[in-house]
Amino acid sequence: MKEKYCRESFVVKTSIVLPPDTNNYGTLFGGKLMAYIDDVAAISAMRHGRKSIVTASTDSVDFLHPIFEGNSVCLEAFVTYTGRTSMEVFVKVIAEDLLTGDRNVCALSFLTMVAIDKNGKPTEVPKVIPETDEEKSLYETAKDRATNRKKRRKESEEFAKKYGTDLPW
């Protein structure tokens, strides 16, 4: 399978924050931003793998700055690292005050997307080649993040077993 450059999976999505997507403080609703993050990560992973994908996990999303109504919100995403069937996608969210030009990185996230075949089974994806300093640094640190996710997945599975589905409804 031919290796691909990070830039080949690059996705940019910019939109303006309008009232239907804000909370009662006039800032972008967190759930909406998380949906945007998942969207761009999914497109990026499909560009890399050219296969159907599912989201296996999202690392924590820290909302570093509020995004106000009337701001633009720009999401950038690309595949930073791959396993056999999984792809780590880095997503950066930048808000801009369109009247002043002030910009803030409002959120960062890493998602793991898994390529699946026609039967819904995980299937192989190409390796990724980092080129820029940012891509290289994200690539070099990805193995540690993947190890942490494996540990977290195991803990989640144990929690799921422990608490089960046995509730009163």
Ligand X SMILES: CC(C)(COP(=O)(O)OP(=O)(O)OC[C@H]1O[C@@H](n2cnc3c(N)ncnc32)[C@H](O)[C@@H]1OP(=O)(O)O)[C@@H](O)C(=O)NCCC(=O)NCCS
Q: Which residues bind ligand X (CB under 6 A)?
A: 54-57, 83-86, 112, 114, 116, 122, 149, 153
The residue type found at 124 is: E
Q: Which residue is nearest to ligand X (CB)?
A: 83
- Minimum gap (Å) between residue 21 Cβ and ligand X: 21
Compute CA 63 distance to the chain's CA centroid, rounded to the nearest angstrom.
14
Residue 21 is given by DSSP the state: G
Q: CB–CB of 130/6 below 8 Å?
A: yes
The distance of closest approach from Cβ of residue 83 to ligand X in the complex, given in angstroms and rounded to an integer, is 2
Comparison of 65 and 145: residue with beta carbon closer to ligand X: 145
125 SS3 class? coil
Q: Cα–Cα distance between 11 and 94 in angstroms, integer?
A: 14
Smallest distance from the beta carbon of 142 to ligand X, in angstroms? Answer: 11
7 or 154: CB nearest ligand X:
154
What's the min distance (Å) between Cβ of 152 and ligand X? 7
Instruction: Look up residue 97 and give its two tokens.
Output: 């005050």
Q: Min. distance of Cβ 128 from ligand X in angstroms? A: 12
The residue among 114 and 142 lying less far from ligand X, judged by its C-beta, is 114
Q: Is the CB of 71 or the CB of 86 nearer to ligand X?
A: 86
- As a whole number of angstroms, the distance between CA 51 and CA 47 comes to 8
56 or 108: CB nearest ligand X: 56
In the chain, how long is the greatest CA-to-CA distance? 54
For every residue of 96-154, DSSP letters joined together read: E-TTT--EEEEEEEEEEEEEE-TTS-B-----EE--SHHHHHHHHHHHHHHHHHHHHHH
